[in-house]
């Protein structure tokens, strides 16, 4: 979806609202279980176009412990600012800085809503998603999912400074 900013760009003090109900942007690298929902507010302050709002999507994530896919809601707060500048008779919307990521967001006074969703949802993507805070994970020996089954493997050897010390002592007694 592209949002035409021409009208709000030329009207100082104007507010506008847009409702977002869009399929997941295909280039986001995430599978969504539902449409992306949200709302953005736009305000023309005279020199800036201020955009604020939020987007919510149910995305499919893989648990970092048991590797099972699960759906989780991702919610991103959006705060963006763009520069308003007169270009002849019209007013153009530009990124605050040229090398800013926002250069991808506006072009010819059109706001790329897909790109807005993509950038902001990726920011709140958990680094190591967990299907549950208490996920028991996989057995490091046999790979069994310990959330749904028990296995007969002995508990893994714990690496502690004392086990290293014990190895050293073993070496000395052998020598």
Enumerate binding residues for Zn ion (CB under 5 A): 63, 65-66, 131, 135, 139, 141-142, 144, 151, 153
Those residues whose C-beta lies under 8 Å from the C-beta of residue 110, and which sit 6 or more positions away, are: 2, 3, 4, 5
Nearer to Zn ion, 108 or 141 (CB): 141
* Least spacing, CB of residue 154 vs Zn ion, in Å: 9
* Least spacing, CB of residue 131 vs Zn ion, in Å: 3
Residue 27 and residue 114: Cα distance in Å, rounded?
Answer: 9
Q: List the structure tokens of 65.
A: 């412990």
* Least spacing, CB of residue 135 vs Zn ion, in Å: 3
CA angle, residues 111, 117, 123, in degrees to nearest 5: 125
Nearer to Zn ion, 28 or 66 (CB): 66
Nearer to Zn ion, 87 or 153 (CB): 153
Residue 61 and residue 71: Cα distance in Å, rounded?
Answer: 6
């Amino acid at each position: 979806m592209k949002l035409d900013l021409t009208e709000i760009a030329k009207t100082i003090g104007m507010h506008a609202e847009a409702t977002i109900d869009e399929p997941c942007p295909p280039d986001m690298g995430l599978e969504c279980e539902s449409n992306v929902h949200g709302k953005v507010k736009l305000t023309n302050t005279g020199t800036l176009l201020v955009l604020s709002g939020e987007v919510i999507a149910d995305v499919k994530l893989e648990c970092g412990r048991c590797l099972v896919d699960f759906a989780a809601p991702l919610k991103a707060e959006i705060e963006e600012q763009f520069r308003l500048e007169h270009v002849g008779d019209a007013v153009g919307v530009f990124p605050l800085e040229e090398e800013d990521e926002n250069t991808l967001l506006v072009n010819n006074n059109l706001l790329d809503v897909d790109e807005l969703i993509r950038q902001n949802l990726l920011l709140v993507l958990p680094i190591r998603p967990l299907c549950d805070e208490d996920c028991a994970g996989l057995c490091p020996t046999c790979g069994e999912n310990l959330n749904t089954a028990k296995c007969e493997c002995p508990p893994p050897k714990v690496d502690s400074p004392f086990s290293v010390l014990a190895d050293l002592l073993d070496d000395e007694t052998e020598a």
